[in-house]
Each structure stands twice: as C-alpha cells, then as structure tokens.
A and B are shown apart, each in its own frame.
Chain A
C-alpha cells in the first residue's frame, strides 16, 4: 500500500504549487500542511520500546516553514514567543522520528550555524575562506593581511531590527571597513573576500544535485552579493557541471551535517579553485530551475512518488 505523503510549506510558495501540479498530473494524493494554515494535528508517543509520531510512517517533504501546531488564537497571543520555543523540540522530534523519509528540515533552517558548516566543509576537503569569529579589534588585526579585502555576515540568523514604525531585515554580505571597527564589539564572523571568476549555486534534494553558474563578476553592482539583483541586464545564469571530485566532497559534506535538501553557494576563483561559502537548508530553487531549464519541480514530484509507492 502507498504511504501517506505530507507536504509542509507556506500557502503562497510557488515551488510548492508547481510540485503539487505535477503530483496531480500523476494522480498522487497528498496532504498539504502550511505554516500559515489553521490546524495540523499531531501526536508523539514515547514508550520503552520506541518513539512513534504522526509522521514516522509517512513521506514528508518539508519545503518551507513548519507544521503549524498551535491554535490560531494563541498565535496572536503575547505568549507566542514562549509557545514557539516550546514547539521547537516537538518539531525536532517529528523530523527525527523519520530520518529516511523526512525530506528538508525546518530545524536545520532555523539553526543554520555557519561555524559548524564551515568546519564540516573544511573537514571533507572543500576550500573555505580564511575565517575568524571575534569580538575585539586586536584579534581581528592580527588575523587580517594588509591589502586584502574582508567581509562580514551573520553567524546563524539574518539580522533584523524591529522598531515601532519600521522594520529592518538584512540578508547579505558587507565589506568590512576597518576604520569603523570599534575596539570591542558583538561576536562577528569575518572572512577573507574571495575573488571570483563565477559563482556556483547548487540545489540538492536527496541524491539529485543541480548546479548553475552565475557570471556576476562582469558587473560591478553585484560583486559582493548577487542578492542585490541587477535587473537591467541580468547576470548570465547557465547550467554547470560539477566535476566529480568536487561533487563527491559536497555529497560527503551534506551527509556530514545531516542535510538531505538545500542550496549551496560556491565560488570558482580565477585560479580555478572551488571555495565553499554557505548552505541554506530551505533555499529557493525556482530561479535556478527556470534559468537552466532543469524542471526541478517535476523531478521532486517524481522522487516523492517513488518513495510513496516503493518505500
């Protein structure tokens, strides 16, 4: 008998909708549980023999967000901060109860620790930028070399700031201006700026890896971070084939950090070295799929169906 298929996402996520259209095309039933939907029932049973949960016998694709486990009126209450914290170990247990068939991970997305990722990448032999995490100028100055550029980005969470009348959210990389660095500051990650020939974006889900090359170097506006899109004449984005040794290291890396889906940023340097920058466990793939005509949506539907039918 077929297993149940559960899709966890956000109501307006385009990629989810595309995959579901393909599931429909193949006539496969599924249940969609959106983070912004009203109710998702669940249950975890712990006994001396085993732990079973409502998803331990299902195929789950956790595309975005998480199953919304809280009644709507509580989501708006003052307790929401506390309740979300309490919800977190529940989500983690649900994910862990089904390691083989739980694809994607909100826990990874939320706790995406760049320090762990960099260490794991280095361990499998991927090049990484020279990195320091510190809170004082002296250590920073001992680390930097003259005439080199350095950047800083967040350690885990995208920076955000909520004020009464405005809201700031940053999600990028900025160049460090040493003139402006104070003597003693909040713990910060600082990395050597890597010159790039091209950027490589890799989306992966289970054993499928899709790579795209982004030619951002030609264009001054995007030299630091291509998320500052240049719309007038968009950077060339084309299919890329990772050579076997790098691909093998990447596969080892994702299995080491226990991620079965996500997107990875690499840089190809002018010296033809691949340097690992970061991984986003719930990264978008729509842009990559469209640019390279990969039909990732269709492949995801097909691999979910394979699991539903044959696992």
Chain B
C-alpha cells in the first residue's frame, strides 16, 4: 500500500465531455456543474492517481490550476481521496425495465373509446399514461377515465393530463380530483391566462402547471430547453442505450392511429381494428428505440446529452433519422441557448412540418 492517497470520483458523479465544455452530472443529488474540458480530461484519464502524480504528468506547469480544480471538486463532494482506488468501482450504466411498454401518449379525439384503450394498455402493463385534450369540456372524460381505472384496479399507476384552460380547470376542482385519485401525476393546463405552478399537496405526485402556451394539436410537443434537463440515474443510464423519448413508448393520435408518438407520420394501424399488441409486434415499431444521443448529429458533441430528452418527430433534417431535434435551441459549439423557431437554418424544416406560428 502506498501511503499517498489517490483521487477518486464518487461513482454517481459522472463527467460528460462536450465540444467546448463539460459537465459533472451528480446523479445522486440531481444536479450538475459545468467544468472545463481540461478538468474533464484529468478526471477521465487520471482518476485513481495522486495529486502529485497528476501534476507531474502535466510537467508541473499547471500545479496551481490543478490545486484549484481539486479544491472545487472536494467542496462539491464530487471526489474523495483514498489509499484503495480499486475498492471503488465505477457504477454500472446498465438500464433495464421489466415492461415492454412503460409509457403512452393518448391524444383525445372525437371518437375516443377510452375503455378499449385503457383495457389494452392495462394488458400491456403500461404503467404511465399521458392524455392530451385539444378542446374544452374535458373534465368529464378525465373523471370517467379515473373512475374506470379505479374500478378495474388497473395496473396503470401514473396518469397525466394536458388540458385546455376553462372554468372547469380551477385549482380547486383539479386538486379535488387529485386528492381522490392517487394515480394523477400531474395536470398541465394550456392556453391559460397566466403561468403558474401549483405544488402537489402530498409526496410530489399530483402537481398542476398552468401555462400560457397555446396548444391546439400535437405539434406543440418536442421542445427542448435548459428547463427540461433531468439529472438522475434512470435517464442517464437509459440514454446510454436507448432513445430518451421514444423507447418503450406507444401512442394513439387523435384519429385513433397507433404510432410511436402522435406527431409521427408512420401509423401501425388504427385502434378501431388493430390492437396495441399487434402494432407493437410490427417490425418497424421499435426502430427508434435504440437511437441514442451518442449517434445523433450535434447532440453527440453536447455536454447535456445524457440529461436531456430527445425528439425524433421534429428534426433539423426530416430526411435523416440521426439529425438533431429541431426544437432545441442549444449550440454545443458556442454554448448558447437561442430561440429555435427564429433560427434561419431551421426555417426549411419548420416549413416542412408546418410549424410556422406555433
């Protein structure tokens, strides 16, 4: 045993290198910090060595900077010193899930037969479902859905609703629904007069978001901003192997077409005459499931790639399934977040998807 302690990252603090800067993703405390790329390199190449060794490797030219870096890492509790670096293995980045489908988006249209859809989702053991409504008068259907789930003791354990603002969407009414139904994960009320976030009354489930965003059809989806970053082990590990939007997802658009997501063009049959099971078994159904951020243009150079979700329905080049999400305004080469919709380079794709003014 050498008497000099070696530097070790806590295994749940993982550096991710981007084109111009890097992140340390703290998967345990659900936060991140920006770090310069040269520090990221030190961590990736020289973890397990002593400070003296690291300084020597850099020819003792940067001793002060290295000391500063290490002070920062210690203060944030990203690293520790140990005589036995090999006792502390890296965390495995495997991602596993016992469900063939684990989330669904259902757009509610005119001939919406919720009993049939819920029955099929239940037999697929899909636990999380989001219902999106594009007109008012939705609360009755919301209640019907929740009552049905309760009556059938459904395996669906988390339901979210996206609804238009109306006199039925007051905080009072929604909270009453939430307190009667432990399944309600959230309400998002669009087309609202103002933005507001109502914390859940219990245990973080059942929150309400009022947003001024105008949502009239599925084209609102796919927005990626610095607000939508999620730092946890589940997403980080899933992102190593799978697509972080479409993996294990099934959807029904407002006309009843079964799709990967309602915004996609390819349909795998209509719910009138096709079961979700049949759609799922279609050879093309899973084609996006394995497209990871490491394969997507631009994203593969982005430091946010493992804490950011993806979008395959709207991409900068609609012909290329590895093209960057259209509605992300981040540029990993300049480190700036900009408004995506006014970017001149995106106008062609915006026209292609008919997203003008949305």
Using CB atoms and an 8 Å cutoff, list the residues of chain A in contact with chain B: 18, 21-22, 24-25, 213, 215, 218, 233-234, 236-243, 272, 290-295, 298
Cβ contact within 8 Å between B237 and A293: yes
Known: A24-B98, A24-B125, A234-B28. A293 touches B92 (CB 8 A): yes
Which one, B81-89, B284-292, B297-305, B330-338, is touching chain A? Answer: B81-89
- Closest A residue to B87 by beta carbon equals A241
Main secondary structure on B side of the interface with A: loop
Q: Write the nearest CB–CB distance from A69 to chain B, whole angstroms.
A: 27
Residue in contact with B233 in the complex, picked from A241, A293, A298, CB distance below 8 Å: A293
Indicate if B94 sits at the interface (CB-CB under 8 A).
Answer: yes
Beyond known contacts A239-B90, A242-B87: 9 more, CB 8 A cutoff: A25-B98, A213-B88, A239-B89, A239-B91, A272-B1, A272-B83, A293-B91, A293-B92, A294-B92
**Max chain B C-beta neighbours (<10 A), residue from A22, A24, A234, A238:** A238
Cβ contact within 8 Å between A236 and B28: yes
Indicate if B12 sits at the interface (CB-CB under 8 A).
Answer: yes
Q: Write the nearest CB–CB distance from B247 to chain A, whole angstroms.
A: 16
- Alpha-carbon distance between A237 and B91 when the two chains are bound, in angstroms: 11
Q: 8 interchain pairs (CB within 8 A)?
A: A213-B88, A236-B77, A236-B80, A237-B12, A240-B89, A272-B84, A293-B233, A298-B98
Known: A293-B92, A293-B94. A237 touches B28 (CB 8 A): yes
Residue in contact with A241 in the complex, picked from B29, B80, B86, CB distance below 8 Å: B86
Q: Write the nearest CB–CB distance from B307 to chain A, whole angstroms.
A: 16
Main secondary structure on A side of the interface with B: mixed
Residues of B within 8 A of A294 (CB): 92
Residues of B within 8 A of A25 (CB): 98-99
Cβ contact within 8 Å between A243 and B125: no
- Alpha-carbon distance between A295 and B97 when the two chains are bound, in angstroms: 10
Residues of A within 8 A of B1 (CB): 272
Q: Mark B78-119, 1 if CB is under 8 A from A, else 0.
A: 001001101111111110101100000000000000000000
Known: A233-B29, A236-B10, A298-B96. A241 touches B237 (CB 8 A): no
Cβ contact within 8 Å between A215 and B80: yes
Q: Write the nearest CB–CB distance from B357 to chain A, whole angstroms.
A: 44
- Alpha-carbon distance between A156 and B12 when the two chains are bound, in angstroms: 35
7 closest A-B pairs by beta carbon, nearest first, are: A25-B98, A238-B11, A21-B98, A236-B10, A22-B98, A293-B91, A241-B89
Q: Write the nearest CB–CB distance from A233 to chain B, whole angstroms.
A: 7
- Alpha-carbon distance between A21 and B100 when the two chains are bound, in angstroms: 11
Residue in contact with A291 in the complex, picked from B28, B87, B96, CB distance below 8 Å: B28
Cβ contact within 8 Å between A290 and B88: no
- Alpha-carbon distance between A142 and B317 when the two chains are bound, in angstroms: 81
- Closest B residue to A19 by beta carbon equals B98
Residues of A within 8 A of B83 (CB): 272
Residues of A within 8 A of B91 (CB): 238-239, 292-293
Residues of B within 8 A of A292 (CB): 11, 91-92
Residue in contact with A293 in the complex, picked from B77, B84, B88, B93, CB distance below 8 Å: B93
- Closest B residue to A211 by beta carbon equals B87
- Alpha-carbon distance between A22 and B1 when the two chains are bound, in angstroms: 43
Residues of A within 8 A of B11 (CB): 238-239, 292
- Alpha-carbon distance between A18 and B127 when the two chains are bound, in angstroms: 13
- Alpha-carbon distance between A239 and B10 when the two chains are bound, in angstroms: 9
Q: Write the nearest CB–CB distance from A186 to chain B, whole angstroms.
A: 40
- Alpha-carbon distance between A137 and B131 when the two chains are bound, in angstroms: 68
Residues of A within 8 A of B86 (CB): 241
Cβ contact within 8 Å between A21 and B29: no
- Closest B residue to A295 by beta carbon equals B96
Residues of A within 8 A of B233 (CB): 290, 293
Residues of A within 8 A of B77 (CB): 218, 233, 236
From residue 110 to 163 of chain B, which have CB atoms closer than 8 A to chain A?
125
Q: Write the nearest CB–CB distance from B13 to chain A, whole angstroms.
A: 8
**Max chain B C-beta neighbours (<10 A), residue from A24, A236, A241, A295:** A236
